[in-house]
Amino acid sequence: MTLVTVVVPTRDAARTLEACLASVRAQTHPSVELVVVDNGSTDATWHVAHRHADVVVRRGPERSSQRNHGWRIGRGSVVVFVDADMVLDPDLLGEAVAVLSQDPQLGGLILPERARGDGFLAGCRALEKAIYLGQPNAEAARVFPRDILHRLGGFDEHLTAFEDWELTDRLRRSGLRVGRTRAGVWHDEGRIALRRAFAKKRYYGAWLPAYLARSSSVARTRLSRPALLARPLLLARSPHRAAGLVMLKAVEWAGLLLGARDARRAADR
């Protein structure tokens, strides 16, 4: 029986972590190792993790190093990376193992991601995620055979944003293909506030120049978000949410660009 290692990086994730880890434990696949890698949480994250996980460790400074540490200390031949605010469909891991076993040319799998949350902007995010489903320039792989991670070296620890895209880009450049499952994950957005969305993207924007340097042509295609126009009927059916999504993406883009500017200025000093 294939052992699957699920790696969950955390930091002050107590609000969502219980549901996340419970969904891992509820998988129909019978052989699962759950590894939580915490980056100095000050809330109840550490205690929630110990109620569910096989291994709970401290590691920083950011999620790329957390993820790398998690898969390296795990034992599974298949590794799945899950964020602390995600809930897995119950048959997801079993399907992932089956898909990988059927095609040796697959180096990774995309997990379809849907969103839910509270309030108008969470509904706009749910619309965005629905549009992105099946769009190769908008999704990144989350499931990898362990030997592929060894071959590629895992996540680039110089990136704290865009690291999942960068690893997927690197995987494709190596000549391997990326598949996908039908079962997926639900992303708990909670209640989105524009100010927090801007601040988060400004923080991530510090790594935008580095990502562009590593995967220039693919990165520009991803970041221009042509996938947003891939399903015009979905936008037409919810015009108010489509307008809200435009506003949300404008705020997030402003944050990314400002963060990138800050990073360039810091590098020039």
Residue 90 has pLDDT above 80, yes or no: yes
125-156 pLDDT per residue, tens:
999 999 999 887 889 999 999 999 999 999 99
- Number of structural domains in the chain: 1
Pair of tokens at residue 202: 């400004």
CA angle 231, 86, 178 (to 5 degrees): 60
Cβ neighbours around 187 below 10 Å, total: 20
**Residues 6+ positions from 128 with CB-CB distance below 8 Å:** 115, 228, 245, 248, 249
Cβ neighbours around 237 below 10 Å, total: 11
Give the global pTM. Answer: 0.93
Q: Find the domain containing 242 and state its range.
A: 4-268
Question: What is the sign, positive or negative, of the torsion defined by CA atoms of 34, 40, 46, 48?
Answer: negative
Band (pLDDT 50/70/90 cuts) for residue 266 is confident
* Predicted local distance difference test score (pLDDT) of residue 134: 87
Find the CATH number of the domain harbouring 147: 3.90.550.10
